[in-house]
Structure 1
């Protein structure tokens, strides 16, 4: 049996936390559930991270980092409409293959709203900084066009909401998310 390094174990905790927080949210997820998913004790979990908030923020950072990297790779060497189409296709793939990433995004926004209301503005600041990196990653290939970036990000949020509500992929509400050439016969 090969032992994992602390960094490998930390990475497995972040991935497990993303899955657990995506499902249960910040307040509804226990560190015990994360530890169990990884196969470590809670005390070991707290040797890797100082607390639940740190675990959540690491998972949120990873979620944003993964999404930012996905958009950057999809749009590499492209601009304008070609970049838009490539990033849109990459996000559609995430919808079908990794819906938990979208759910983690939704949980991040809810957790920030709750923390801000409780007076913990540092929590939200960390997530907002990551979101701005995501915005910039989309914004530049779209020619730094605020309207195109806003529309793209708005569609992404709508997609996240539809996934969160459990609309099946064949439901008519998804028709507007497809390129026009794929919309034939859906209404």
Structure 2
């Protein structure tokens, strides 16, 4: 025998086939749900388009300015002067092609809320009627502050508060809730 490497070939025996395989799983699809502001209100503010939401974006207390913005800038922002905050809702009437934006603003006098009703026309927010105020004593939860006038569908019917001298009142005055039928400014 000599030193060095063996000249014999080794016989390798495979007992079975390799049945393991590598499985590559596709990455999981991560779906991110859109974040909708908690006070957002979704409505059909523009006719023949998908509904989108509006929300109170910002309140500047030193300047008394409230900004209302809309989903993906679907409508221009609405800036309300002399406002210390707002709640928004929408109203739907058959006389209008789209939903109306009702804004209930907080003003400097905490005894009143001022209301504004807007329609989106030509990509601009336009007041349907001029703004009006209701005293806190005249605001039951069931009161809808404005609607279409049943006697004249071309007008709006709204509630508002007025100051009334009242000698029987301990304060000498009361706030009365009145209503009126007014012309629609922007159809």
TM-score by length of 1: 0.26
Structure with bigger strand share is: 2
TM-score by length of 2: 0.26
Structure with bigger helix share is: 1
Could you say which structure has the greater relative contact order, defined with CA pairs below 8 angstroms and 6 or more residues apart?
1
Larger radius of gyration: 2
